[in-house]
Amino acid sequence: MKTVHLVSVLVNALSLTIASTALAQPVPVTTPVPVAAPTGHPLKGVIVDIVAEKKALLVKHEEIPGVMRAMTMLLKVDAPTLASAQKGQVITATLLKKSDGWWLENITPLAPTP
Ligand SMILES: [Cu+2]
């Protein structure tokens, strides 16, 4: 039993060494993330229509687990996105819930599959 005890003492000493080595490393400076920032959900879908008068896209999107089932819905976008959006485009984007509804950001068109 003495051997076992010795081993555990050695292990403890070793982990203390590792711990103090880790503490000696410079701590990386991280920018604090604003708590109020809305969390986005990754979305994949197709632009079915561009509804300029509502500054929104009609998007048929795949299921977003824990958020919503697959459906076709209007999603608000900013002006540049509205201007560059194309019907039939397959996209990935970030779905964001804001106080005035659902928004789509970071839209990235996917190359059409042959
Ligand atoms: Cu939806």
Q: What is the pLDDT of residues 97-108, one digit of tens each?
A: 999 999 999 999
| Domain contains 32 | no
Instruction: Report the separation in Å between the CA atom of 72 and the middle of ligand 1, taken as the mean of its atom positions.
Output: 6
- Residue 91 above 80 pLDDT? yes
- 3-class DSSP assignment, residue 3: helix
Instruction: Report the separation in Å between the CA atom of 13 and the middle of ligand 1, taken as the mean of its atom positions.
Output: 55
From the list 75, 21, 25, the residue with the least C-alpha distance to 51 is 75
Q: In this structure, which residues have their CB less than 5 angstroms from ion ligand 1? A: 68, 71, 73
Instruction: Report the separation in Å between the CA atom of 69 and the middle of ligand 1, taken as the mean of its atom positions.
Output: 6
Q: Which domain holds residue 48?
A: 41-109
| Domain contains 47 | yes
pLDDT in tens, 8-54: 565 555 555 555 555 566 667 776 655 656 689 999 999 999 999 99
| Domain contains 98 | yes
Instruction: Report the separation in Å between the CA atom of 1 and the middle of ligand 1, taken as the mean of its atom positions.
Output: 63
The answer, as to whether pTM is greater than 0.85, is no
What is the band of 112 on the pLDDT scale with cuts at 50, 70, 90? low
| Domain contains 83 | yes
Instruction: Report the separation in Å between the CA atom of 52 and the middle of ligand 1, taken as the mean of its atom positions.
Output: 19
C-alpha to C-alpha distance for 41 and 15, rounded to whole angstroms: 39
| Domain contains 8 | no
The per-residue pLDDT for 30 is 73
N residues, the chain: 114
Instruction: Report the separation in Å between the CA atom of 61 and the middle of ligand 1, taken as the mean of its atom positions.
Output: 7
The per-residue pLDDT for 16 is 54
Residue 50 bridge partners (DSSP): 57
| Domain contains 100 | yes
Instruction: Report the separation in Å between the CA atom of 92 and the middle of ligand 1, taken as the mean of its atom positions.
Output: 14
- Number of compact structural domains in the chain: 1
